[in-house]
Amino acid sequence: MTLGSHMTSYVFITGGVVSSLGKGITSACLGAILEARGLTISMIKLDPYINVDPGTMSPFQHGEVFVTHDGTETDLDLGHYERFVRTAHGGRNSNFTTGRIYESVIGKERRGDYLGATVQVIPHITDEIKQSIELGAGDADICLVEIGGTVGDIESLPFLEAIRQMGVELGHERVVYVHLTLVPFISTSSEIKTKPTQHSVKELRSIGIQPDILVCRSEQPLPDEQRRKIALFTNVREKAVISAYDADDLYKIPLMMHEQGLDEIVARQLGLELPEADLGEWQAIVEAKQNPQVDVDVAMVGKYMDLKDSYISLVEALQHGGIHTRTRVNIHFIESRDIEENGVDCLQNMDGIVVPGGFGDRGIEGKIETVRFARESGIPYLGICLGMQVAVIEAARNLAGLKGAMSTEFDPGTPHPVVGLITEWQDQTGDTEQRDEDSELGGTMRLGAQPITLADGSLAARSYGSTSIEERHRHRYEVNNNYRKQLTDAGLRFSGLSIDDLVEVVELPGHPWFVASQFHPEFTSNPRDGHPLFKSFIGAARRHREGELPEAAEA
Ligand code: GLN
pLDDT score recorded for residue 433: 43
Closest CA to 383 of 553, 296, 503: 503
Q: From the CB of residue 526, how many other CB atoms can be counted at a distance below 10 Å?
A: 16
Atom of ligand 1 nearest to the CA of 384: 8
466 pLDDT tier (thresholds 50, 70, 90):
very high
Residue 4 lies in a domain: no
Q: Ligand 1, closest atom to CA 359? A: 1
500 and 363 in a single domain? The answer is yes
Rounded to the nearest angstrom, the distance between the alpha carbon of 453 and the centre of ligand 1 is 21
DSSP 206-229: HTT---SEEEEEESSPPPHHHHHH
At residue 324, what is the residue type? H
Q: How many angstroms is it from 360 CA to the middle of ligand 1?
A: 9
User: 443 with 537, same domain?
Assistant: yes
Task: From 198, 120, 133, 197, select the one nearest 159 (Cα to Cα).
Answer: 133
Q: Give the least confident one: 308-312, 343-347, 393-397.
A: 308-312
Q: Given this model, what pLDDT does residue 359 score?
A: 85
User: Is 121 part of a structural domain of the chain?
Assistant: yes
138 domain residue, yes or no = yes
pTM of the model: 0.91
Do 476 and 501 fall into the same domain? yes
In this prediction, residue 6 has a pLDDT band, given cuts at 50, 70 and 90, of low
Average pLDDT over residues 18-44: 94
Separation between Cα atoms, residue 75 and residue 99, nearest integer Å: 14
Quick: pLDDT tens for 35-78. 999 999 999 999 999 998 877 776 666 778 899 999 999 888 99
The catalytic residue positions are 385, 520, 522
Distance of alpha carbon 17 from alpha carbon 378, whole angstroms: 50
Q: Which of 234, 257, 284 is the last residue of a domain?
A: 284
524 and 419, same structural domain? Answer: yes
Q: How far apart are CA 144 and CA 133, in angstroms?
A: 10
Ligand 1 centre to CA of 231 (Å) is 50
Instruction: Report the pLDDT value the prediction gives residue 305, as an integer from 0 to 100.
Output: 65
Mutate to test the pocket of ligand 1, among 56, 64, 354, 359 (most ligand atoms within 8 A of CB): 359
The H-or-E segment that residue 505 falls in is strand 503-507
Ligand 1 contact via 362 beta carbon (within 6 Å): no
Q: Which of 259, 284, 309 is the last residue of a domain?
A: 284
| Centroid of ligand 1 to alpha carbon of 13 (angstroms) | 34
The CATH number linked to 489 is 3.40.50.880
Pick from 385, 407, 471 the residue to mutate for probing ligand 1's pocket: most ligand atoms within 8 Å of its CB. Answer: 385
Q: From ligand 1's centre to the CA of 474, what distance in Å?
A: 7
Q: What is the DSSP secondary structure assignment for residue 122, as one 8-state letter?
A: I
Q: How far apart are the first and last CA of the chain?
A: 58
138: left (phi over 0), alpha (psi -120 to 50) or beta: left
The answer on 243 and 114 residing in a single domain is: yes
The answer as to whether 443 is a domain residue is yes
pLDDT confidence band for 18 (50 / 70 / 90): confident
474 CB near ligand 1 (under 6 Å) = yes
Mapped onto helix, strand or coil, the DSSP state of residue 35 is helix
Report whether residue 409 contacts ligand 1, using a CB cutoff of 6 Å: yes
pLDDT-derived band at 444, boundaries 50, 70, 90: confident
Mean model confidence pLDDT for the chain: 92
**Under DSSP, is residue 281 helix (H, G, I), strand (E, B) or coil?**
helix
| 123 cis-preceded (ω within 30 degrees of 0) | yes
Pick from 423, 419, 515: nearest CA to 469: 515
Q: Is the minimum distance from the CB of 357 to ligand 1 under 6 angstroms?
A: yes
SS3 readout for 51-108: CCCHHHCCHHHHCCCEECCCCCEECCHHHHHHHHCCCCCCCHHHEEEHHHHHHHHHHH
**Position 229: which residue type?**
K
**Could you tell me the CA-to-CA distances from 434 to 67, 72, 447 in Å, in that order?**
21, 19, 14
Predicted local confidence at residue 443, as pLDDT: 47
Q: Among 266, 284, 302, which residue terminates a domain? A: 284
List, in sequence order, the alpha helices (H) in 145-293. Answer: 157-170, 195-206, 224-234, 253-259, 262-269, 280-290
Phi, psi of 460 (to 5 degrees): -60, -50
Q: Which range of residues forms the domain containing residue 268?
A: 9-284
**DSSP of 163-177, one letter per residue?**
HHHHHHHH-TTTEEE
Residue 59 confidence (pLDDT)? 62
344-358 pLDDT per residue, tens: 999 999 999 999 998
Are β-strands 191-192 and 185-186 bridged in parallel, bridged antiparallel, or unpaired?
Answer: antiparallel
The per-residue pLDDT for 531 is: 97
Per the model's pLDDT, the better-predicted residue between 387 and 304 turns out to be: 387
Q: Do both 349 and 267 map to the same domain? A: no
Binning pLDDT at 50, 70 and 90, where does residue 555 land? very low
Residue 245's SS3 state is strand
Strands 142-147 and 41-47: parallel
Burial of 172 (0-12, 13-18, 19+ CB in 10 A): middle
Same domain, 493 and 541: yes
CB of 474 within 8 A of CB of 357? yes
| Nearest protein CA to atom 7 of ligand 1, as residue | 357
Query: How confident is the model at residue 551, as a pLDDT?
Result: 60
**Residue-by-residue DSSP string for 346-383:** GGTT-SEEEE----SSTTHHHHHHHHHHHHHHT--EEE
Query: Residue 471 contacts by C-beta under 8 Å, 6 or more apart in sequence?
Result: 449, 450, 452, 504, 517, 519, 520, 521, 523, 524
Regarding whether 377 and 245 lie in a shared domain, the answer is: no
Provide the number of structural domains found in the chain. 2
Exposure of 524 in the CB half-sphere (CA atoms within 13 A) = 19
Q: What does the pLDDT read at residue 64?
A: 86
User: What would you measure as the largest C-alpha separation in the chain, in angstroms?
Assistant: 75
Q: Closest residue (by CA) to atom 8 of ligand 1?
A: 357
The predicted-structure confidence for 329-345, as pLDDT tens digits, reads as follows 999 999 999 999 999 99
Pocket test for ligand 1, best of 336, 409, 471 (most atoms within 8 A of CB): 409
Residue 17, pLDDT score:
81
459 found inside a domain: yes
User: Is residue 477 in contact with ligand 1, taking CB distance under 6 Å?
Assistant: yes
pLDDT of residue 304: 66
The reply to whether 1 falls in a domain is: no
Residue-level pLDDT at 1: 41
Judge whether residue 501 has pLDDT over 80.
yes
Query: What whole-number distance in Å separates Cα of residue 12 and Cα of residue 503?
Result: 43
Residue % of the chain over a pLDDT of 70: 94
386 lines ligand 1 (CB under 6 A): yes
Is residue 3 included in any domain, yes or no? no
Sequence-distant (6+) residues with CB within 8 A of 50 are 97, 98, 99, 102, 155
Considering the domain architecture, whether residues 221 and 315 belong to the same structural domain is answered as no
State the helix-helix crossing angle for 98-111 and 126-137, rounded to 10 degrees: 110
Does residue 383's CB lie within 6 angstroms of at least one atom of ligand 1?
A: no
CB of residue 502 inside a 6 A radius of ligand 1:
no
Q: Are 380 and 538 in contact (CB under 8 A)?
A: no
Confidence category of residue 431, pLDDT binned at 50, 70, 90: very low
Residue 441 has pLDDT above 60, yes or no: no
Q: Are residues 53 and 175 in the same domain?
A: yes
Q: 476 in ligand 1 pocket by Cβ < 6 Å?
A: yes
Residues 263 and 361 in one domain: no
Element (H, E) at 552: none
Among 178-192, 285-299, 517-531, the range scoring the smallest mean pLDDT is 178-192
Same domain, 264 and 341: no
Q: How much is the pLDDT for 5?
A: 47
Give a yes or no: residue 409 inside a domain. Answer: yes
Phi, psi of 156 (to 5 degrees): -85, -5
| Residue 33: CATH number of its domain | 3.40.50.300
| Ligand 1 centroid, distance to 192 Cα (angstroms) | 47
